Amino acid sequence: MSASTSDIQTLFKTAVGFHQSHKFAEARALFEQCLPEATEAVMRLKIHNFLGQCCFAMGEAALSFSHFKAAVTINEQSEEGRLITGFCLNWLGQTDAALALANKVVTQNPHCDKAYFLMRAVYQKLGDDEKVKETEEKFAAVIRKREKKFARQSWDLLPNNVNRVSLEPYLVPASETERVKEVLFRNGCLDTSLGRFMEGFEDFQKLLKFAPDHYKAMYGAGRCLFELDRKEEAKQFLEEALRLNPEFKQAKVLLEKIKGKKS
């Protein structure tokens, strides 16, 4: 008996959550369950892409590349399809073809942040630091302009710095407290805006251990958990954010959304 579309979507979302948590074996098992039942081209493309990443992370390079090659042959021409295909081509070392797809998407949609992210990945593989910096700046500019995205909804993200900073809060002197808070907060915002929700959650958690009354970090942690489909845990963080700042609109909106979905 074949699975329904809703069953596949549920399996897929669970698998993505495992992938974002770096639980690649669990993610791979679920993606492999989804693949035979997936009929839509974009969904098959996504699954092959994720399977390629999981296999690569598990040290199975040959199988990894077979999935990326399978993704490329699907030839899905939607914006999302071109971008996923572009990332797979970049994995395969076909950087010119990947860059061509990214440019095609940007020509049709200059505000597509993922296209700039693909360009950045290509230039990183090519070792072109100047182009990497240029595309990071374009990516950050697009993020700032998109009012409905997480970064713009919550606070002004990335006005000066798009580079993630490696920092452990307890390894710096007390005189640097404010700098530590700022860096950890920016790291969390950046990871979240790039869709790295597990990493973003860890960034905000680290900040909260250092500054437990940081209501925006509390909201950021809740937002990441929401995106990871861990809504009960997200609710606790959002409620705490509102306890710290009862007028914090973004926390109110997201908490209402969670409660609405549950009812």
Same domain, 183 and 251: yes
Could you tell me if 130 and 191 lie in one domain?
no
pTM value surpassing 0.85: no
**pLDDT tens column, 195-215:** 788 888 988 988 888 788 999
Both 72 and 94 in a single domain?
A: no
Give yes or no: residues 254 and 177 share one domain.
yes
Cα 29 to Cα 247: distance, rounded to the nearest angstrom? 43
CA nearest 48: which of 35, 36, 57? Answer: 35
CATH number of the domain to which 246 belongs: 1.25.40.10
Asked if the structure places residue 109 within a domain, the reply is yes
What is residue 128's predicted lDDT score, i.e. its pLDDT? 92
Evaluate whether residue 120 is within a structural domain. Answer: yes
Which residues fall within 8 angstroms of residue 86, CB to CB, at 6 or more apart?
97, 98, 99, 101, 102, 105, 118, 122
In a domain, 159, yes or no: no
Domain boundary among 146, 161, 179: 146
> Which of 224, 214, 233 has its CA nearest to residue 190?
224
Are residues 47 and 35 in contact, defined by beta-carbon separation less than 8 angstroms?
yes
| pLDDT tens readout for residues 114-167 | 899 899 889 989 999 999 889 888 887 776 665 444 433 333 333 333 344 444
In a domain, residue 197? The reply is: yes
Per-residue model confidence as pLDDT tens digits over 27-82 = 999 999 999 988 888 899 999 999 998 998 888 988 999 999 999 899 778 888 88
pLDDT value of residue 158? 34
- Give yes or no for a contact between 90 and 125, defined as CB atoms under 8 angstroms apart: yes
Are the C-beta atoms of residues 20 and 197 closer than 8 Å to each other?
yes
Domain total in the chain: 3
Which ranges of the chain would DSSP assign to H, the alpha helix?
5-20, 24-34, 41-57, 61-74, 79-91, 95-108, 113-126, 129-145, 150-154, 177-193, 197-210, 215-227, 231-244, 249-262
CA-closest candidate to residue 49, choices 37, 61, 31: 31
Question: Are 29 and 2 members of one domain?
Answer: yes
